[in-house]
Amino acid sequence: MTRLAEGGALIDRTKPVSFKFDGKTYQGFAGDTLASAMLANGVKLVGRSYKYHRPRGVVTSGPEEPNALVNLGSGPTHEPNVRMTQVPLFEGLEATSQNRFPSLNADIGVLNALASKLYPAGFYYKTFIHPRVAWKHLFEPVIRNIAGLGRAPSEADPDTYEHQYAFCDVLIAGGGAAGLLAARKAGEAGARVMLVEQTERLGGRMLVDDDAEIDGKSAVAWVAEQVIALEAMDNVTIRLNTCASAAYDHGYTMLYERRTDDRKGTGPRHRLWRVRTKQIIAATGMIERPIAFYGNDVPGVMLASAVRDYVKLWGVAPGRNTVVYTVGDDGYRTALSLHAAGHKLSAVLDVREDPVGMLVEQVRGAGIKVMPATGIGKVIGGKAGVTAIKTVSFATGKDDAPLDDSIPCDCVAMAGGWSPVVHLYSHSGGKVLWDAKLAMYRPDANFRPTDGSGEGFVHAAGGANGELQTQAVLKSAAEAASGALSSIGMTTDTSAPTVAAVAEQPMQPTWFTPTQGKASYGGKHFLDYQNDVTVADIRLAAREGYESVEHAKRYTTLGMATDQGKLSNINGHAILADALGKAMPEVGTTTFRPPYTPISMGSIAGREKGILFKPVRETVMHNWHAAQNAEFEPVGDWRRPYRYQQGNEAREPSIHREIARVREAVGLLDASTLGKIIVKGPDAGKFLNMMYTNMMSTLKPGKCRYGLMCNDNGFLMDDGVVARLDEDTFLCHTTSGGSDRVHAWMEEWLQTEWFDLKVYTANVTEQWAQFAVAGPNARKLLERFEGDTDLSGDALPFMGFTDGVLDGLPVRIFRISFSGELSFEIATPTSYGPALWEALMSKGEDLGVGPYGTEALHVLRAEKGFIVVGDETDGTVTPHDVGMSWAVSKKKEDFIGKRAMMRSDLTREGRKQLVGLLTTNPRRVLPDGAHAMSADGTRAIGHVTSTYYSPTLKRSIAMALIEDGQSMMGQTLTIGIDANSAAKAVVSSPVFYDEEGARQNV
Amino acid sequence: MSESNNALARAPRDDTAPDGLGVQLAAMPLRAMLTIRGDFADAGFVSAVEAVSGCTMPDVRKATFAGNNSLLWMSPDELMLFGDYAKADDLVAALNEKAAGSHMLAVNVSDARAVFKVSGAKARYALAKGAPVDFAQGSFGTGDLRRTRIATVATGIVMTAEDPDTFEVFCFRSYGTYLWNWLISACDENALSDLG
Amino acid sequence: MLLIHCPCCGVEAEETEFAAGGEAHIHRPGPDCSDAEWATYLFDRKNPRGVHLERWRHAFGCGKWFHMARHTYTLEVYGVYQADELTPPQAILDRIAERTSA
């Protein structure tokens, strides 16, 4: 055990927690992360790297962790690639290591490493190109088996996830010293503030690096004071475990909240906040950098800040005997923390020639050996961890510096300097500039991301702004708060608390040791732990001409793993710059893209899964249809009965039964889904003359007309029956999926082109339940209702309509037919629909009444040669193409589509025209979409648009669009079925049944 | 429209909300709804609407209330009138008569929409799980109306006159089942316990 | 994702409430126009990297169309105006000139 006897601000030693890793049970404490608990149990090996399967241990204490990725949970709650450093420990937690086969300790993928000379940067690109067949059958299966981070879950996730919209004036990302001060100032100014912090604690590094005094108080006491003040403000919302994942355009910010990883049924597991904020203060702090040296990936080599985090926050010393390797003063803090905790330090290696100052002196005073101008030449150890290091002196100035002393140790703390977390600043266009002195990219205040008014809306504060000293951090936070508030017309002063802290000496940027060494020095010097990218890989990329940072990134995969290069990018770019002999700014940096850390797929879906996946529209008869064993099909968002199954009847017999009912008795169709739009006003007729290809202004009140609607390209977009209710008012029916679209289309023209027309529209689709009562017995059935409406052919002829009453139910009855039979469409206010439908069913029992579904409807209309917009049309088809020139007015000066129909392409010979197809084998039903071949078989001349077996005609029928089809009547065409077979069909009229319309007109 | 027929009408849905919600949730019975379109600068039109509804003309994105009636601002030339279900046709007729001199449209759409009531201190947070709207106190108050979306369903949301935490949400009736299920999910007390 | 102010109902709402309608102020010629004029009306669009006058509809809100002057790269919005205005108001033109002069 490496748990310290005391200390650990976050853990509760009275609450032991047991958990499992790779099947073995361990103990930790409440407040531990999975990483701190594993370290406390002395477990160093927690994962394998992606490419070489090298043994890896925990490197960091936060979201930047590249190595310690595990599978969390099992079965349906299994989640891959979870960073152990971000998993709060809970009772019963189960985790397994990933990217190892067959086990973490004995991973055969390590053979990759033995063969690593074969795997330089770009190896995959260079090797697996040829032969193609080998890729599919040899390379890919083998690579897939060995490669990959984690395993995708195979069962549906039982947890819930959600989105939450929120609005604020100032969103502050990061609850460290800078974030707390900015929040306090914004809160006191009266702004609506959201303060979010990705960990479960406020205070940031102040909780660990507490050597500064703020306003005369200890850093920890100052933090506590801010938290108490903020919690008392109604206008400030604080959310912990919530990461500001992304800052998008115009203040749209995405927050990722992890609520309940223990899955105890306490509501949504993750919550994705969709926040619209006026200003963002990015107080996201910094990430410490590793240093590239031979063996810097051996378990036990960690970031120095993480080492002291584990000591102070969780009471864990990652090693019993630690070496600190630092480029500046900051690493000495780790030495002091370990020393204060009673642990042994073999040495502090400092790249600087003459380290001086308070922190250095304190370390020396503690009796710890400080070795100036010294780096790590080699780490000795293996999967069990570090056992020693060999130092290398910078004083020699030689390329391949000889290895000096061997120092036994089991932990190496790297302090390579700090990089501001500029992600939020950069996501929507903020620029960064290179600070050579501090060796970091910091936000360029002259190029902020801009909002809708063109003003900068993201303000970097504290560490995120490149400030390393607490006084400067607080000053920068005060300025950021002032800037954000003044942008929204509020004010605060820029005063900051007074900080008493030790003075620090300049750091000496160091990316690689030995500093003058060859990339082959000793062995591998890792930059990107997760993707196994080394210094040698970057130098190779530079040599091979990948000079652009974006190209070098893709060639080497630097920064392309799930950690997105949080530890590796800056180091990699520095190595590239060095290799190219350029300065850092000349090389540039890659683009920071959201999200900051990976977020769960569940949180992206939110609650829109299962029955909430997509809205479904139901008619008022939906439950009745379901009770009658309807099989539903989607039509737009609607669910319509496709057919009604009796017993275990197969599809085709049930559809044929429904068709026969309409042709021989009477059937009921729920047509409530048809769009219904009221168009009213003195200019309504004039307007509809523009909307439809037909003349609508001449329609008489009380009459219906079938109309076609085109777009200005001349192509069909909708059709339906228009009824004139009175002089000023029309009721336009649209297709089932088209009501919203057509209503919006009408409004678009009225609002944007013909705003002088006096016309109002209203979408009344859902006001009415509408049923087709179709078949020879239809009139007989309706005449059984009480009411004074004369339904005779003389009183209510085909294409007429009337308002009336059926058994006390208010109805509007249309004489229209889509089946070719005697047909009435009856509309009643939606709430009365079930009553009307039930009455039709019970009164018509002896007449053979019953429901029919959309498939029967389609066969019935195809027998009659009626088109369906979307089947016979595909957005390139004109009314003339489908033989409906009769519906295109020649008298109107203009209508939508008129001018386009005169274009040469729409009037040329050879356009596809609608025809019928009768297969020579009447049982053979052509496949939908099958192509008709030209006589010489060299090309397709058209395709099948609708195809059915007609039980009425007892043969196959099809409609098709064929080039010049109208002139090919009687010719036999070859229709391709698949690669090896074809069918013969004779071109015919598309009207297969009752061509003169006698059946519907009675 | 007789009482017996009304009783046969399918309620928007089974209107019993399950246990475990952090707000009160109910499906509302049918009511009169009229879509009214006209020129708000036309004094004849406005006075006809005010006389028939009893409500004063609402300001932009507001609702006004008078007895069982409420008048909702839907767009610069569109209003929605809520009232007693049985009186819908009478209201249409009265409007057509009183505004006879104006170019306007009044149509009975009482059967076209489903209405839900969401009330309680956490109601604003429940709605904000799907609607991109600032429902915070001070941003959205009594008589405020917002046409927006919940998930991808077009909805109207009104804070009624009853009390400051009561919202009515309406959508096209065919989306009612979906929206009802969505609201049940979003109103889960466990999804609201840590908000507000 | 844009934050858009609807000039018809006064709402400032996120882009998901709106539907984009492409370039604004496209003249629809009459049926007697030439093929070239008609093709221009149907197909020719500016698609600038810069200031764009465009049509939007508050689809989930008040349902109204309106115009917006926007920079397609910086996403700066210079102003919104009514659907029946045939050119941007002078104030918006001034704003565009001021913001793009640098």
Fold of the A526-582 domain: Arc Repressor Mutant, subunit A (1.10.10)
Which residues in C lie closer than 8 A to residue B78 (C-beta atoms)?
Answer: 62-63
Which of B82, B108, B134 represents a domain boundary (last residue)?
A: B108
Query: Is C13 in CB contact (< 8 Å) with chain B?
Result: yes
Q: At residue A798, does pLDDT exceed 80?
A: yes
Rounded distance, CA A755 to CA B125, Å? 40
What's the pLDDT at B6? 37
Chain B neighbours (≥3 Cβ pairs under 8 A) are A, C
For residue A911, what pLDDT band results from cuts at 50, 70 and 90?
A: very high
For residue A886, what pLDDT band results from cuts at 50, 70 and 90?
A: very high
Smallest CA–CA distance, residue B155 to chain A, in Å, is: 13
Please report whether residue B6 resides in a domain: no
Closest CA to A996 of A899, A865, A874: A865
**Left, alpha or beta for A406 (phi > 0: left; psi -120 to 50: alpha)?**
beta
Task: Confirm if A262 and A154 have CB atoms less than 8 A apart.
Answer: no
Task: Confirm if A668 and A770 have CB atoms less than 8 A apart.
Answer: no
B175, A607: Cβ pair inside 8 Å? Answer: no
Q: What is the DSSP string of A29-49?
A: EET-BHHHHHHHTT----EE-
C65, A751: Cβ pair inside 8 Å? Answer: yes
What's the pLDDT at B8? 34
Give per-residue pLDDT as tens, A775-791. Answer: 999 999 999 999 889 99
CATH number at residue B49: 3.30.70.1520
By CA distance, what is A896's nearest residue in C? Answer: C31
What's the pLDDT at A800? 97
Q: At residue A128, does pLDDT exceed 80?
A: no
Which residues in A lie closer than 8 A to residue B150 (C-beta atoms)?
Answer: none
Q: Which residue has the tokens 């509007």?
A: A812
Task: Check whether residue B73 and residue B127 sit in a common domain.
Answer: no
Q: φ, ψ for residue B149 (rounded to 5)?
A: -130, 150
Rounded distance, CA B179 to CA B25, Å? 12
Task: Confirm if A329 and A440 have CB atoms less than 8 A apart.
Answer: no
Which residues in B lie closer than 8 A to residue C10 (C-beta atoms)?
Answer: 60-61
Rounded to the nearest 10 degrees, the angle between the axes of helix A330-340 and helix A358-365 is 30
Task: Check whether residue B116 and residue B101 sit in a common domain.
Answer: no
By CA distance, what is B157's nearest residue in C? Answer: C61
What are the angstrom distances between the C-alpha of A761 and each of A505, A729, A830? 75, 10, 20
Task: Check whether residue B122 and residue B166 sit in a common domain.
Answer: yes
Q: At residue A122, does pLDDT exceed 80?
A: no
By CA distance, what is A166's nearest residue in B? Answer: B134
For residue B4, what pLDDT band results from cuts at 50, 70 and 90?
A: very low
DSSP bridge pairs for A381:
A386
Task: Confirm if A467 and A437 have CB atoms less than 8 A apart.
Answer: no
DSSP element (H, E) containing B178: helix B176-186
Point out the residue among B76, B78, B147 whose CB comes nearest to the CB of C60. Answer: B147
Q: What is this model's ipTM?
A: 0.98
What's the pLDDT at A845? 97
Task: Check whether residue B127 and residue B93 sit in a common domain.
Answer: no
Classify domain A290-354+384-416 by CATH number.
3.50.50
Please report whether residue B185 resides in a domain: yes
Query: Is CATH 3.30.70.1400 the classification given to domain A675-765?
Result: yes
Q: Is the peptide bond before A131 cis (omega within 30 degrees of 0)?
A: yes
Rounded distance, CA A514 to CA A391, Å? 9
Q: At residue B18, does pLDDT exceed 60?
A: yes
Give per-residue pLDDT as tens, A733-760. Answer: 999 989 999 999 999 999 999 999 999 9
Point out the residue among A162, A165, A192 whose CB comes nearest to the CB of B132. Answer: A165
Mean pLDDT value of segment A289-308: 96
Domain boundaries, chain A: 10-155, 161-287+420-500, 290-354+384-416, 526-582, 622-673+767-860, 675-765
Task: Check whether residue B129 and residue B97 sit in a common domain.
Answer: no
Q: At residue A120, does pLDDT exceed 90?
A: no
Mean pLDDT, rounded, of chain A? 93
B60, C61: Cβ pair inside 8 Å? Answer: no
Mean pLDDT value of segment B106-133: 97
- Rounded to whole angstroms, the maximal C-alpha distance in chain B is 56
Q: Which residue has the higher pLDDT, A1000 or C21?
A: C21
DSSP bridge pairs for A97:
A70
Q: φ, ψ for residue A314 (rounded to 5)?
A: -120, 5
Mean pLDDT, rounded, of chain C? 97
Which residues in B lie closer than 8 A to residue A618 (C-beta atoms)?
Answer: 174, 176-177
Q: Which residue has the higher pLDDT, A261 or A727?
A: A727
For A145-159, A816-830, C65-79, which range has the lowest pLDDT when averaged over its residues?
A145-159
Smallest CA–CA distance, residue A339 to chain B, in Å, is: 41
What's the pLDDT at A521? 72
Q: φ, ψ for residue A717 (rounded to 5)?
A: -130, -20
Fold of the A622-673+767-860 domain: Gyrase A; domain 2 (3.30.1360)
Task: Confirm if A861 and A659 have CB atoms less than 8 A apart.
Answer: no
Please report whether residue B57 resides in a domain: yes
CATH number at residue B154: 3.30.1360.120
Smallest CA–CA distance, residue A741 to chain C, in Å, is: 11
**Left, alpha or beta for A245 (phi > 0: left; psi -120 to 50: alpha)?**
alpha
Structure tokens at A962: 């064929």
C65, A752: Cβ pair inside 8 Å? Answer: yes
Mean pLDDT value of segment A716-725: 98
What's the pLDDT at C78? 98
Give per-residue pLDDT as tens, C23-66. Answer: 999 999 999 999 999 999 999 999 999 999 999 999 999 999 99
Rounded distance, CA A521 to CA A378, Å? 9
For residue A179, what pLDDT band results from cuts at 50, 70 and 90?
A: very high
Please report whether residue B95 resides in a domain: yes
Task: Confirm if B133 and B146 have CB atoms less than 8 A apart.
Answer: yes
In sequence order, which residues have a C-beta less than 8 Å from that of residue A880 and are 6 or more positions away? A888, A901, A906, A911
Residues in chain C whose Cβ is within 8 Å of chain A: 1-3, 14, 21, 28-31, 33, 35, 38-39, 41-42, 55, 57, 59, 63-65, 71, 74-77, 83-84, 99
CATH architecture of A10-155: Roll (3.10)
Task: Check whether residue B90 and residue B144 sit in a common domain.
Answer: no
For A305-309, A511-515, A668-672, A776-780, which range has the lowest pLDDT when averaged over its residues?
A511-515
What's the pLDDT at A112? 61
Mean pLDDT value of segment A412-428: 96
Structure tokens at A679: 């168009």
Same-fold call for A161-287+420-500 versus A290-354+384-416: yes
What's the pLDDT at A404? 77
Q: At residue A591, does pLDDT exceed 50?
A: yes
Name the CA dihedral angle for A837, A843, A846, A849, rounded to a multiple of 10 degrees. -20
By CA distance, what is C17's nearest residue in B? Answer: B148
Rounded distance, CA A768 to CA A833, Å? 8
Query: Is C15 in CB contact (< 8 Å) with chain B?
Result: no
Smallest CA–CA distance, residue B8 to chain C, in Å, is: 33
Rounded distance, CA A912 to CA A966, Å? 9
Q: At residue B100, does pLDDT exceed 90?
A: yes
By CA distance, what is B146's nearest residue in C? Answer: C61
Closest CA to A599 of A339, A121, A256: A256
Rounded distance, CA A707 to CA A712, Å? 16
In single-letter form, the type of residue at position B166 comes to: T
Task: Check whether residue B118 and residue B186 sit in a common domain.
Answer: yes
B133, C13: Cβ pair inside 8 Å? Answer: yes
What's the pLDDT at A151? 76
In sequence order, which residues have a C-beta less than 8 Å from that of residue B139 and are 6 or more positions away? A167
By CA distance, what is B149's nearest residue in C? Answer: C60
Chain C neighbours (≥3 Cβ pairs under 8 A) are A, B
Which of B89, B108, B127 represents a domain boundary (last residue)?
A: B108
Mean pLDDT value of segment A702-730: 97
B147, C14: Cβ pair inside 8 Å? Answer: no
Task: Confirm if A389 and A407 have CB atoms less than 8 A apart.
Answer: yes
Q: At residue B10, does pLDDT exceed 50?
A: no
What's the pLDDT at B2? 35
What are the angstrom distances between the C-alpha of A625 and each of A622, A644, A835? 5, 8, 14
**Domains of chain C as residue ranges with CATH:** 3-25+47-100 (3.30.2270.10)
Mean pLDDT value of segment A74-83: 89
Q: Which CATH number fits domain A161-287+420-500: 3.40.640.10, 3.30.420.10, 3.50.50.60, 1.10.3720.10?
A: 3.50.50.60
A834, B6: Cβ pair inside 8 Å? Answer: no
Bridge-based pairing of strands A286-288 and A499-500 is unpaired
Mean pLDDT value of segment B94-113: 97
Rounded distance, CA A46 to CA B153, Å? 47
Which residues in C lie closer than 8 A to residue B148 (C-beta atoms)?
Answer: 13, 17, 60-61
Which of B56, B91, B108 represents a domain boundary (last residue)?
A: B108
Query: Is B132 in CB contact (< 8 Å) with chain C?
Result: yes
Point out the residue among B60, B76, B149 whose CB comes nearest to the CB of C17. Answer: B149
Query: Is B151 in CB contact (< 8 Å) with chain C?
Result: no
Contacts 24+ apart (CB under 8 A), A939-946: A940/A976, A941/A973, A942/A912, A944/A917, A944/A975, A945/A871, A945/A872, A945/A914, A946/A858, A946/A862, A946/A868, A946/A871, A946/A872
**Helix ranges, A470-544 (H):** 470-487, 535-543
Q: At residue A928, does pLDDT exceed 70?
A: yes
DSSP element (H, E) containing A274: strand A270-282
The percent of residues in chain A predicted with pLDDT above 70, rounded, is 94
- Rounded to whole angstroms, the maximal C-alpha distance in chain C is 44
Highest mean pLDDT among A112-116, A133-137, A895-899: A895-899
Closest CA to A526 of A50, A97, A69: A50
The alpha carbon of residue A75 and the mean position of all alpha carbons in its chain are separated, in whole angstroms, by 23
Q: φ, ψ for residue A107 (rounded to 5)?
A: -105, 115
SS3 A98: coil
Task: Check whether residue B66 and residue B116 sit in a common domain.
Answer: no
Task: Find which of C3, C9, C64 to mutate to test the B interface (most B CBs within 10 Å of its CB).
Answer: C9
Please report whether residue B9 resides in a domain: no
Please report whether residue B16 resides in a domain: no
**Helix ranges, B28-175 (H):** 43-53, 88-98, 123-127
Please report whether residue B3 resides in a domain: no
The percent of residues in chain A predicted with pLDDT above 90, rounded, is 84
Burial annotation A318-354 (CB, 10 A radius, 16+ → b, else e)? bbebbbbbbbbbbbbbbbbbbbebebebbbbbbbbee
In sequence order, which residues have a C-beta less than 8 Å from that of residue A648 and are 6 or more positions away? none
What's the pLDDT at C25? 97
Residue range(s) defining the domain that contains residue B75? 32-108
| Number of domains forming the structure of chain B | 2
In total, chain B counts a number of residues equal to 196
Window C:16-35, CB contacts with B under 8 Å: 16-17
Point out the residue among B74, B76, B148 whose CB comes nearest to the CB of C17. Answer: B148
Based on its alpha-carbon atoms, the radius of gyration of chain B, rounded to whole angstroms, reads 17
Task: Check whether residue B56 and residue B88 sit in a common domain.
Answer: yes
Q: At residue A242, does pLDDT exceed 60?
A: yes
Rounded distance, CA A460 to CA A420, Å? 10
Task: Find which of B74, B109, B113, B140 to mutate to test the A interface (most A CBs within 10 Å of its CB).
Answer: B109
Mean pLDDT value of segment A138-148: 62
What's the pLDDT at A331? 97
Task: Find which of A169, A249, A250, A677 to mutate to test the C interface (most C CBs within 10 Å of its CB).
Answer: A250
CB pairs under 8 A between B and C: 37
CB neighbours of residue A652 within 10 Å: 12
Task: Confirm if A917 and A973 have CB atoms less than 8 A apart.
Answer: yes
Please report whether residue B2 resides in a domain: no
Task: Check whether residue B132 and residue B99 sit in a common domain.
Answer: no
A167, B139: Cβ pair inside 8 Å? Answer: yes
